[in-house]
Structure 1
């Protein structure tokens, strides 16, 4: 007998309302009743629909029943932090500011925390620090994932000689200007086509329904801050079986952006819900969580995964349009999420692993770890180190806040460093100047045990917000 699969149409056919309960019911039944027949599963769902109060205390089916019962008002409970937190490993301690360490120590004291690690690019953020990795028991922390859900790196490698970047720089500059769009509120006049926009959840979750139109017009755009799309040189010294690129130099297209306003709305909405349900002391309040046994937690999990798929689709659109302009298909694409949570096995248990500005680094998992607009990035594959909760840094990491960078770096200093490295910058501000970032070589040295370098990317033409 095959595994159980249900459709929204089938649930609507037995009377289920057009609401988030459909996605929740499908997920619960397909996970816990995967060997039941479809007719058996539908009979169970009919019984819950007719008398949801009879299933309210059921450990498995109660989640579905709860969605079918009138909402009850309940005040959030006060939650105390543990006196002693879980132990966690710190990589590159000498490069990490005290604010990030403090935030990680707080996260380690949560009652739900099981394992954690701090990456060498870490700096303070909201909730978890940027570069923080936290594994929890059946709970997800919206601000442990972050506001820009599913922010990711994507690298397309083309069989084009890198010397063309200098010989035809005007063409490559115009391509980035024509095919990309930057800015927190920017959107295209004409929406791009992609199957992610047909996801049923857009019609089932009340939060997402009004966001659909804007998300569609922002598909293939990038935000502000450290988001970029850039051309550069990919260098591969030795052929790696996992990467699969021949040794040599190739033209690369690298992008960094996330789920735009869609992810921000999801993050903020469910953080408010989490804070209302679990009141944590002081600045630890940003670490409020939702369990995957409760409606809000399951809703967030579904919405978070949709935001991750949407972020991936944004990169797909960007790379597809630019590949079309180049008249070539990439010979290899490498990409990876950060600002996300995964269900993973850790020491024999399924846990929720949050990587806030950290790259998955399981065995042979490929990823890109960028430096800055003048520093190289690295193509890596994971070494599956449990002490790091199978993670690595997501970049060089900031050594200056945005305000400090803008106050202490001059336009001339930025122009000089760009000229020194032969980089053409379109847009970008002093807050993203190379001086504001840690030395990527030192960061990589601090995580030699976590990843193996299989290639290198050197930026040459960089586009960011501000143009």
Structure 2
């Protein structure tokens, strides 16, 4: 009788071994000699489609046929480009190796703000062929940054320590998991009339949540902040003269709606690839030729429009309360996937914590609550799949920060930088982040900075009191 070693030598692995041994036992009971059983198992391995109706081997054949159709992994991971290698933790490299081992992956890159994430490292970029991975986009679909520049002179606002500005932030922002408006107070926006809310089943279920959470921000590293935007010289791209301007920057995504959509399609992707084992399981993808793949793509793009609307509402409410006009703005997603041409192929470019940086494309790269952010122009570097970092990037995790620092450390760091912080946890202090200047230097061949933004009054999720 065959033993596990016999079927492993044929090439079976994982749960295929158990199914091959079960089939071999049935064949033996039907008086098939061992040599014939081995011959049949080899045949099922090489041509499973010919055995899908076989009385003995149909279940094994179905398992192998599914695996063959999905062609899940390649023999050795593809190479990928890296920026800022010396400041990236080892775990991010290991996760990127996993990404580059997937069959649909064609190209990839790692940005200088990279650090360990869920499945794919934050700061990772991957181009897949005709496939989308919900996990490579993440739970906060379409997390993005926006900077708005206000009209009027900056004189008298240079320090921005102003009770009026503080009040405006508090009155026009809401933060936290599950946080939203009452039904009567919820802002209106055309995005809620988008027909995709009704054509995508899960989106339809979540529309009421979307309505009360529109124009709000999440927890963690999400923020809305006043600051000073500085242009050393006039910018044709921004349509602004050299000088200093009062500006507003925000960072958040698609709220609880996006999280639930991400969770649902990650489960579907894993279910559709049952033979994909950890750690690859956490990167499961959906074929864009399938119903699930097309549905997720539509849902993801709806979340992109919804996240953009969230930022627009925040900025418009604050501008109105401020009595100012928005004379220019820049915004971009950094947890999203796009259809792009690279190397003569259409790829689904996943940027999980990475900024699009095509030739001439404007983007925003934040630092931390005390470090500057930058408005940048992309240089279109193909090796990075025309991408750049999405920020400074964490250098220590949240739990490590909570073990190491306390509110006094956070308060001192903010005070030393001349920044007023309204509500923030110690796990978001500036000591948690890499030096943004080093990150920008590491990606000087990816983007060109044209303006800097220095935070002055920062609102985050941890209560309404100054830290």
* TM-score normalised according to structure 2 size: 0.83
Distance 2:158 2:219 in 1: 25
Is the 8 Å Cα contact of residues 165 and 172 (structure 1) preserved in structure 2?
no
Distance 2:426 2:290 in 1: 44
Is the 8 Å Cα contact of residues 77 and 277 (structure 1) preserved in structure 2?
no
Distance 1:88 1:129 in 2: 13
Are residues 1:303 and 2:299 paired?
A: yes
* Matching residue of 1:127: 119
* Matching residue of 1:191: 186
Once the two structures are TM-superposed, the CA of residue 127 in structure 1 deviates from its matched residue by: 2.0
After superposition, the C-alpha distances for 1:323-355 in whole angstroms (9 at most, x for unaligned) are 001111111111011100000010111110000
Distance 1:421 1:370 in 2: 16
For residue 207 of structure 1, give the secondary structure of its aligned residue in structure 2: helix
* Matching residue of 1:65: none
Is the 8 Å Cα contact of residues 81 and 109 (structure 1) preserved in structure 2?
yes
After superposition, the C-alpha distances for 1:211-234 in whole angstroms (9 at most, x for unaligned) are 101111100000000000000000
For residue 251 of structure 1, give the secondary structure of its aligned residue in structure 2: strand
Once the two structures are TM-superposed, the CA of residue 167 in structure 1 deviates from its matched residue by: 6.3
After superposition, the C-alpha distances for 1:285-344 in whole angstroms (9 at most, x for unaligned) are 111100110000000000000000000000000000000011111111110111000000
Distance 2:109 2:160 in 1: 45
User: Which of 100, 108, 125 is the equivalent residue of 1:108?
Assistant: 100
RMSD: 1.4
Are residues 1:390 and 2:383 paired?
A: no
* Matching residue of 2:328: 332
* Matching residue of 1:60: none
Runs of 5+ consecutive residues of structure 2 not aligned to the other structure: 1-61
Please tell me whether Structure 1 or Structure 2 has the larger radius of gyration of its CA atoms.
Answer: 2
Distance 1:128 1:198 in 2: 33
Once the two structures are TM-superposed, the CA of residue 414 in structure 1 deviates from its matched residue by: 1.4
* Matching residue of 1:231: 226
1:1-400 equivalence runs, <5 A:
77-78=66-67, 80-162=72-154, 163-164=156-157, 166=159, 169-189=162-182, 190-279=185-274, 280-400=276-396
**Compared CA separation, residues 167 and 113, structure 1 to 2 (3 A):** closer
Q: Is 195-204 or 380-389 further displaced after alignment?
A: 195-204
The number of aligned residues is 394
Is the 8 Å Cα contact of residues 98 and 279 (structure 2) preserved in structure 1?
no
Distance 2:72 2:386 in 1: 29
Distance 1:440 1:315 in 2: 24
Distance 2:201 2:322 in 1: 41
Distance 2:72 2:168 in 1: 54
* TM-score normalised according to structure 1 size: 0.83
Distance 1:151 1:421 in 2: 27
After superposition, the C-alpha distances for 1:129-149 in whole angstroms (9 at most, x for unaligned) are 100000010000000111101
Is the 8 Å Cα contact of residues 141 and 290 (structure 1) preserved in structure 2?
yes
Distance 1:170 1:77 in 2: 63
After superposition, the C-alpha distances for 1:232-276 in whole angstroms (9 at most, x for unaligned) are 000001122212211000001000000001111111101100000
Is the 8 Å Cα contact of residues 161 and 420 (structure 2) preserved in structure 1?
no
After superposition, the C-alpha distances for 1:77-133 in whole angstroms (9 at most, x for unaligned) are 456422211211000001111111100011001000001000000011112110000
Once the two structures are TM-superposed, the CA of residue 445 in structure 1 deviates from its matched residue by: 0.5
Is the 8 Å Cα contact of residues 161 and 457 (structure 2) preserved in structure 1?
no
Distance 1:463 1:165 in 2: 18
Once the two structures are TM-superposed, the CA of residue 372 in structure 1 deviates from its matched residue by: 0.4
Distance 2:284 2:138 in 1: 12
Is the 8 Å Cα contact of residues 115 and 122 (structure 2) preserved in structure 1?
yes
* Matching residue of 1:62: none
After superposition, the C-alpha distances for 1:154-186 in whole angstroms (9 at most, x for unaligned) are 000112344426466100000000000000110
* Matching residue of 1:14: none
Distance 2:345 2:161 in 1: 54
